A and B are shown apart, each in its own frame.
Chain A
């Protein structure tokens, strides 16, 4: 195995493009190193991104959103008061990953690019309408986070492409987001179902909404029908029931060691309702 420490994303992309065998980027390493130790992955080239200047920074974009470096660990997101105040759902999704030790290393980008349908930070990013900046042999492009997952363990990134930042849009007024996952324990577990809701209010009425579900399909995805179920409502009981039904209808999960089809489907509806209520409260100014 060859271990590389490029000092720019262009170099990282070039190294990746030239590599012949199996290539992995190394952000926090909490997936890659564990997979290597377990004998699941033996990369020929391991490209460490942490030596690239700026990868640990969280900065305001000109539009008023956020640019999050690819090596920013979960602990740094949680400690960033302004980011957490604007996107509590995104931050709480990442904060659920692993333990204190894992939080010191694990990144949003790694969580996204590991390609797990159960990745905890991804539904929040998808519901928030986040995008990624991608550096490749052909230069730089951006793409919605929602377009990156391509099935368990797979992404839509081309060979030689590396994500160089995660971009969150401006929060704007009267918005709120939330992420909930279901696990049988209280921590150190993989989501059996995950659900993020991001919405904006006009008075008491939901004006805009995005609902994203995790662990109930091969990829984490937006569920427009679920969003439509609550847009134009005040999240009354009928709206919540419609949301529950739409979330369940969007599920195509598998039976596995972590949960059954029936259970995942039912709980997706429950979490959608509960996450929507939290997001709604936050849009109204709740700080919890």
Chain B
């Protein structure tokens, strides 16, 4: 679709109230745990207290004897013979021969009340034989580490690798050795990041119902109802079309709700309880012990730089554990690590490693923050050593449209240079710094995913429009899609209602992930609106007795296209819609595709910190996010994404961590000790929306949701060095770690 960069839009770029706002502030919005049904049972899950143990026996008799208990399930109630990701999901849903991490589900019960179900869960006797375990990625990759699973390695892993390496990759271009030889300074560094949890405010919750006939329904808090359907059907051996999945409102997901955890258990319990619906609501500690964190990483980076800051070559070797299953985002981490830099010589090596930790799930720009921590930290160190301005070095080496990306393909339209220039011009960079204060900058990158997308639009009899989308609204996408639809149809924003619908209502949709909802569902909604416009023009043409091609759509009405088409007054959408019954029936539009034309997004962050020299405590004084949005449909939600990404990144950088004891048990499965930032920890986060429109989207949208979590990790490390001279190369940079680094730096 043609697009004029300088066109003024009527609605796109404005900030109306969000359509779900009143429901959310009044408590009327229905989240996962708010859904109940007549005859409902409550489910509770028995979880392994061991990091790694053989399940010797499970005695359910005491639980079954308890009054009010209607069903107990173990792995024996699941089909056998699954392979690949279906098997992994089934094994993660319910342990088979072995419990693979602290919190791994081993049995589940359904009873007439929540307390009854919890009591029954305590009466299930599981006998374990504890096995040696491994938690840390560098320990897990050792040749003599406890083996998590024999034969889990795929074909990419060469002979002779340590037993917990399950995927291996190497890629790059040019000749890195030659590139390093051209450099004036070659440095390398070793960096580690901890696993962190997505930390969504709403714990997982679902209500599942499954009859003996294999027909089922589920109401669930998820980022993707079709993923829930496909995965539950796979794990339970059901026909996907027999399962109808309705998403609730969602209190955050950040990638962690693109997969299944206890959802199949509610269905299995329901089937065993004669088809009664079964509700399961996780506690926060179940969320932290058993649902998807991201991976932890151990990384080596080597970079060559000339005296003027030109990068000559770079090499990264990353090792990541994503729990007891394959799937850590080491590939994505490597793709993004050097993405902001034009490099003729670059090499990447990656290892996906198993450990006795929960199966990792996607978390906002999966992998990219870890890679950025290593690369952006080392570049900052090298800038310091050569006395170069880190902003200038980033600009000097910035990739532009047409450049070959570090991970292979050529970049289409991108806005990194514009982002860096906007950063350099921001007043925060001119703020004076006091004692113990420092400033750090870092860049970040993330893709924009397309994915299967199906959207329907229907014109109502009064000329208002209803849009059915399949991507749950986590960050304000209903508002953005309503704005784009209303803009296209030429009607008020308030005249469009966007509904997130169940799996029975549309073709398959991928979840809201990969920063795709506003791009993909938005593009499909615009194309569906275009279809409806074509149909409305046809109806007007028929009434006027002219050719449909002689009718154009302007400001929400059909009108003759030019004087030769005939002289008729414009026919409004309300007028056309009011007589749809007589003119050919319902008027709607539909679009489904894997939309082409994704637009990746670069960002640059600048943070000012103050470090307490006596306690190592880091205070964020100022924080700036500058990022390319392509075009901000609803700027307030774009800013919200920028601020939210930064807030999560600050938590990851400073305090969040999984703390295990020597038995591999998680010590901090509550928000009291799993320390996400609280509101008073953060200053107002400043944002600048750069707009380099994406030519692949009718309104220029890029995916903006994920890039923002990538720069904070290194930006804060760089700022701490600026403030104190101490360089931290491992996360979290919590007060004990910072204080130790300060002492080491003072001693040196």
Contact = CB atoms under 8 A, between A and B. Distances in A.
Interface of A: 38-39, 182, 184-190, 192, 256-260, 262-263, 266-267, 270
Given A188-B672, A190-B672, A260 B736 contact: yes
20 contacts: A182-B735, A184-B617, A184-B675, A184-B734, A185-B675, A185-B677, A185-B678, A185-B680, A186-B680, A186-B681, A187-B680, A188-B672, A188-B678, A189-B675, A192-B735, A257-B667, A258-B673, A263-B735, A263-B739, A270-B614
A186 B285 CA distance: 23
A188 B614 CA distance: 22
A186 B654 CA distance: 13
Contacts of B675: 184-185, 189
A190 B735 CA distance: 14
Interface in B591-627: 614-617
B113 to A, nearest CB: 15
B736 A257 contact: no
A257 B660 CA distance: 9
Given A188-B672, A257-B673, A259-B736, A267 B680 contact: no
B188 interface: no
Nearest first, the 3 closest Cβ-Cβ pairs linking A and B are A263-B736, A186-B680, A257-B667
* Majority SS at the chain B contact face: loop
B382 to A, nearest CB: 30
B59 to A, nearest CB: 20
Of the listed residues B672, B678, B736, the one surrounded by the most CB atoms of chain A closer than 10 A to its CB is: B736
Given A188-B678, A189-B672, A257-B673, A270 B655 contact: no
A259 B668 CA distance: 12
B217 interface: no
Contacts of A38: 285
Given A185-B678, A187-B678, A267 B615 contact: yes
B118 interface: yes
B657 to A, nearest CB: 9
Nearest to A182: B615
A140 B514 CA distance: 67
Given A182-B735, A186-B678, A270-B615, 10 more contacts: A39-B118, A184-B617, A184-B735, A185-B655, A186-B681, A256-B667, A257-B667, A262-B736, A263-B735, A267-B615
Interface of B: 118, 285, 614-617, 654-655, 659, 667-668, 671-673, 675, 677-678, 680-681, 734-736, 739
Nearest to A267: B615
B672 A184 contact: no
* Majority SS at the chain A contact face: loop
A262 B736 CA distance: 9
A241 to B, nearest CB: 13
A266 B673 CA distance: 21
Nearest to A258: B673
B747 to A, nearest CB: 14
A188 B615 CA distance: 19
Contacts, number: 49
A287 B295 CA distance: 49
B609 to A, nearest CB: 14
A39 B667 CA distance: 16
Contacts of A182: 615, 617, 735
Nearest to A266: B739
A267 B654 CA distance: 18
B44 to A, nearest CB: 11
Contacts of A270: 614-615
Contacts of B677: 185
A192 B655 CA distance: 14
A259 B739 CA distance: 12
Nearest to B676: A185
Contacts of B672: 188-190
B736 A185 contact: no
A260 B659 CA distance: 13
A223 B285 CA distance: 37
Contacts of A266: 739
Contacts of B736: 259-260, 262-263
A190 B672 CA distance: 7
A184 B681 CA distance: 10
Contacts of B615: 182, 267, 270
A260 B736 CA distance: 7
Nearest to B284: A38
B282 to A, nearest CB: 14
B654 A257 contact: no
Contacts of B739: 263, 266
A258 B655 CA distance: 11
A26 to B, nearest CB: 19
A30 B616 CA distance: 31
A21 to B, nearest CB: 17
A99 B285 CA distance: 20
B710 to A, nearest CB: 23
A274 to B, nearest CB: 9
A119 to B, nearest CB: 14
Nearest to A256: B667
A144 to B, nearest CB: 30
A258 B671 CA distance: 13
B260 to A, nearest CB: 25
B652 to A, nearest CB: 14
A185 B681 contact: yes
Nearest to A271: B615
A239 B678 CA distance: 36
A39 B655 CA distance: 27
B391 to A, nearest CB: 30
Contacts of B654: 184
B472 to A, nearest CB: 29
Contacts of A260: 736
A222 B673 CA distance: 27
A207 B615 CA distance: 29
Nearest to A193: B615
Contacts of A190: 672-673
B659 A257 contact: yes
A271 to B, nearest CB: 8
A260 B671 CA distance: 20
A189 B675 CA distance: 8
A267 B738 CA distance: 13
Of the listed residues B615, B667, B681, the one surrounded by the most CB atoms of chain A closer than 10 A to its CB is: B615
Contacts of A257: 659, 667-668, 673
A39 B115 CA distance: 11
B290 to A, nearest CB: 16
Contacts of B678: 185-188
A58 B3 CA distance: 71
Contacts of B659: 257
Of the listed residues B614, B677, B680, B681, the one surrounded by the most CB atoms of chain A closer than 10 A to its CB is: B614
Contacts of B673: 190, 257-258
A181 to B, nearest CB: 11
A192 to B, nearest CB: 8
B691 to A, nearest CB: 35
B667 A184 contact: no
A266 B742 CA distance: 13
A17 B677 CA distance: 44
Of the listed residues A38, A182, A267, the one surrounded by the most CB atoms of chain B closer than 10 A to its CB is: A267
Contacts of B671: 188
Given A189-B672, A190-B672, A184 B680 contact: no
A25 B621 CA distance: 44
Contacts of B667: 256-257
Contacts of A39: 118
A187 B677 CA distance: 9
A125 to B, nearest CB: 23
A189 B672 CA distance: 6
Contacts of B734: 184
Contacts of A258: 673
B225 to A, nearest CB: 31
Contacts of A189: 672, 675
B375 to A, nearest CB: 27
A192 B616 CA distance: 13
A259 B675 CA distance: 13
